[in-house]
Amino acid sequence: GGWRDDLAAYMNPIAMARSRGPVQSSGPTIQDYLNRPRPTWEEVKEQLEKKKKGSKALAEFEEKMNENWKKELEKHREKLLSGNESSSKKRQKKKKEKKKSGRYSSSSSSSSDSSSSSSDSEDEDKRQAKRRKKKKNRSHKSSESSVSETDSDSKDGLKKKKKSKDVSEKEKDTKGLTKKRKMYEDKPLSSESLSEPDNIEEVRAKKKKSSEEREKTIEKTKKKKKHKKHSKKKKKKVASSSPDSP
């Protein structure tokens, strides 16, 4: 078999490693990791408890800080309250002193009254000045309004005069009409009876004329319409005959 000479010999990697011998390891092997020293279960529990205590310690520290802060706040509050109390006591003392001075020393009270009265008098003066200004403005406005009222009154007077004239003229006219009517009534009946038939005849003649004129106009319109119809017929005939012609 010369054909087997070309094939490469198969090498078993594990056999090769063993033949080489132990390799110098760089770093811990898996064996070392597995064989590392481990704590017992009791030791682990202790460690866990320590961790919890650590977290508790922080909480304890915070609580202590809060307590200290509360104490400081209380001290500060006491100071403020004492200050307020002292100030309120001082005020009460001042009030009592004022009352006493008011009772016993009349001179001081009179001086204070005089000062207050002077200020009141100044205020009153200011108020009076304001009132005067207002009154002036009002009087000015009232004068303007009175002027406008007089103008309006004069206008109204003129209007009234005109109306009275118109009324008097109307009365005159009515009187004249009544007189005329009386005159007609006073006329003798014979003249009225004579005049009435003539009037009636005239009215009849006018009516006849108007009726005749109306009839004439109606006839004219009818004739015009007829003419239009004839012309339309003629046009139609011409239109029908034109296509027949060669």
The model's pTM is: 0.18
For 188, how many CA atoms within 13 A lie in the half-sphere containing its CB?
A: 3
Residue 60 CA to residue 197 CA, distance in Å, equals 142
Terminal Cα-to-Cα distance of the chain (whole angstroms): 124
Residue 108 near residue 101, CB atoms below 8 Å: yes
- The number of helices, as runs of H, and strands, as runs of E, in the chain is 5, 0
pLDDT value of position 195: 46
3: left (phi over 0), alpha (psi -120 to 50) or beta: alpha
Residue pair 22/30 in contact (Cβ under 8 Å)? The answer is: no
Q: Encode the chain (246 residues) as per-residue pLDDT tens digits.
A: 566 677 777 889 999 999 988 877 778 888 888 999 999 999 999 999 888 887 777 888 889 999 999 999 999 999 999 988 877 777 888 888 888 777 665 554 454 555 555 667 778 788 888 888 887 787 776 666 666 666 667 667 777 777 777 777 777 788 778 776 767 655 544 444 444 445 777 778 888 888 888 888 888 887 776 666 566 655 555 555 555 444
Residue type, 33: Y
Rounded CA separation 38/42 (Å): 12
pLDDT for position 68: 94
CA distances to 14, 64, 81 from 18, in Å? 6, 67, 92
Sign of CA dihedral 124, 126, 132, 138: negative
- In this prediction, residue 92 carries a pLDDT of 83
Residue appearing with tokens 């390891």: 25
